[in-house]
Structure 1
């Protein structure tokens, strides 16, 4: 791990933050998910740091990476020399695609700009640093910054949160760091929806890996933790009672409900994939004025309590709208579920508007949506989940898509082709 002072960007020295391997991978995730060709700018990374290693690992043959040792006026000569020596030691393949400069004035605008130093200090200092870095982001590009997850008495985290509310296209909490940090991705200028086709699904550090192919969503970790906590309290309150076994035994199935398996997403550009696991309830053509005046092909899928409830983007696109409509909690497999509480995510794509609707059910009472307006989603990328039995609807322009499933078919989120573009 490499240590940076909290507030290193503003010159305020406080308790050191360690950027470990997991936090470094999250910082470099926008580089890693971009299929290229792309340009990256890494600011404040030291030679041999985990962040520098993660950025180098994300490089593809046509990519270019610029490294600046500091976000200040200029770096110490020794730090620059150490960076250059480190890059040379990586071999010609890396050195041919990587350039080390002494200051930001020598850097050119890049598609992805990463501030490797944790940002802290006062709000004015943070605003100055962010403004300087924003000028080095190309149109539609992303600026990635990291702040302590545990708020220190400074305004930097508040300033980043303010900008994230306006320009944020993703935020990840990395608990497995010392101390925990939050990584924000900011897009100050709009991106074109076509850029989503060049992306891979984003890394989700909130998922806890169990095996190479199976993760548990953070909601499941929290729910299992609550169940085990209740078991401990029950055991302490009534040591001779077996009542504690009820929440203790419930922890495993509750966690299993939030399982988040890895999925192989079809590479066929004409394929539209299922937004969730489950059983196809209906395939129909209809009009919905909320999404436009055109006719839509709607494919509805019911999720039982035994299905994986992580939701995935059926197509690559840009999130242009998100809203929630109030309603009831009818059983999701019944027609009355049409009027249940639902979250609507509208995507702009090369084929026109596409909507994904997350509907609650009889038991489901909470919808999680993690894709802010302005963010780009790759096909098959996780963007949220629904707790317990529920339903997802995918709306596609009817004159541009043909269904590939029928009512009663079983589908697998992110893998099963439910329709094809004409």
Structure 2
């Protein structure tokens, strides 16, 4: 057996290992698909975090094809997989070379890419040929300078053209950037079979509470300022101000787990907050016909992580210029806003993230082409703000009114007819 050209070779500084967190991120696309699916794992070795994460993601009806990392790995893989019992062994097949595998809906590369630009481009071409229509290729690359010969730059270029998600995994040695690429369009209906994707940007604090990476960074800056103040002015208590601010700043970026309603017709809130208005309107930017718009105001005490209200495919994203009026005021209609446009089986749905008097920073993490599950995190707005959901008026009935309190990803704000 010869090693497939698409299997990456070790980095010059030695092999790059994927820890548990990186492995979970790499296999997130496999884990989120409900129902039967086909997947291909390239460059696998026995008793590794990536293989274990892929095995854990298997469901009845799934087929996982494994390409060993090297000539000596096939026998070890067969022994390791057989030890998991017939339920796992019946769903995994091992092939000697990539060319022997059938096209799959999900292709995962177990070894980070570390080659030159040309080598990386060749590997991506070979791996992309193994994708079924609308399938996703997930690959990792070291995020530290000097750990690749050009793979990082080429993957950044490919992600700009075909990326449907990128995650930075800092808790790995070395840190990794993991890209999800889709080279052919996906069917909108596929989004309805997905669970919200796992994202390492949400750092777990407890089983049910996470902190967004923006909060970790903000708290780190506050603590850094406290340390600097303590060093430069040791007799002053000025350092207490940033030190005491670190906890509430981190709390602002809290990202709790949410239980989604088990109702296919439910449209969930895109954000925590209080309903400002429910109205019918037209907006030529999103097409003909009327839209039902539910506007929600987020105070500084609310969770500011935004979620997709429905399952759909991101087909457009744009930012409209404007002012920074208080988000609860009518003038906020003309504030700076980011619009994420979704194609769904019921029509066009839009999520508008609007800035406020204090909020000046919108984070959006759902690139065009991405498939979003209902309730999936799409980004956040820093400090007080407003989030609007536009639904096709002829297809949905509102279930909330002005003054109602809603919880992002959990409260039902409308129901499809």
Distance 1:157 1:407, change over 3 A: same
Q: 2:380 aligns with which of 355, 380, 385?
A: 385
Give the match for residue 404 of structure 1.
399
8 Å CA contact 1:274, 1:413 repeated in 2? yes
1:113-152 equivalences under 5 Å are 113-152=107-146
**Separation (CA, whole Å) in 2 of partners of 1:343 and 1:335:** 18
Q: Deviations over 1:321-343 (max 9, x none)?
A: 00001100000000000000000
- The reply to whether residue 350 of structure 1 matches residue 349 of structure 2 is no
**Separation (CA, whole Å) in 1 of partners of 2:10 and 2:237:** 57
Q: Deviations over 1:384-408 (max 9, x none)?
A: 0000000000000000000000000
Give the match for residue 150 of structure 2.
155
Give the match for residue 212 of structure 2.
217
What's the secondary structure of 1:18's corresponding residue? coil
Q: 1:81 aligns with which of 75, 81, 88?
A: 75
1:212-361 equivalences under 5 Å are 212-361=207-356
8 Å CA contact 2:10, 2:114 repeated in 1? no
Q: Deviations over 1:311-366 (max 9, x none)?
A: 00000000000000110000000000000000000000000000000000000000
**Separation (CA, whole Å) in 1 of partners of 2:139 and 2:184:** 16
CA RMSD of aligned residues (A): 1.1
Deviation at 1:36, TM superposition (A): 2.2
Runs of 4+ that moved beyond 2 A: 10-16
**Separation (CA, whole Å) in 2 of partners of 1:324 and 1:11:** 41
Q: Deviations over 1:104-153 (max 9, x none)?
A: 11100100000111101210000111100000011000000000011325
Q: Deviations over 1:237-295 (max 9, x none)?
A: 11000111000000000000000000001120100000000000000000000101110
8 Å CA contact 2:139, 2:178 repeated in 1? yes
Deviation at 1:14, TM superposition (A): 3.2
* TM norm structure 1: 0.96
Deviation at 1:16, TM superposition (A): 2.3
8 Å CA contact 2:42, 2:109 repeated in 1? yes
Q: Deviations over 1:16-55 (max 9, x none)?
A: 2111111011111000000121001000010111100000
- How many residue pairs get aligned? The number is 411
**Separation (CA, whole Å) in 1 of partners of 2:11 and 2:259:** 46
Deviation at 1:208, TM superposition (A): 1.2
Deviation at 1:12, TM superposition (A): 5.8
**Separation (CA, whole Å) in 2 of partners of 1:342 and 1:84:** 53
**Separation (CA, whole Å) in 2 of partners of 1:403 and 1:281:** 13
8 Å CA contact 1:151, 1:157 repeated in 2? no
Unaligned runs of 5+ in 2: 1-5
**Separation (CA, whole Å) in 2 of partners of 1:151 and 1:164:** 18
**Separation (CA, whole Å) in 1 of partners of 2:19 and 2:197:** 19
* TM norm structure 2: 0.97
**Separation (CA, whole Å) in 2 of partners of 1:193 and 1:321:** 14
Give the match for residue 31 of structure 1.
30
What's the secondary structure of 1:157's corresponding residue? helix
Deviation at 1:207, TM superposition (A): 1.3
- The reply to whether residue 107 of structure 1 matches residue 106 of structure 2 is no
**Separation (CA, whole Å) in 2 of partners of 1:410 and 1:8:** 52
8 Å CA contact 1:207, 1:218 repeated in 2? yes
8 Å CA contact 1:329, 1:360 repeated in 2? yes
Q: 1:172 aligns with which of 144, 167, 171?
A: 167
Give the match for residue 364 of structure 2.
369
8 Å CA contact 2:305, 2:381 repeated in 1? yes
Unaligned runs of 5+ in 1: 1-6
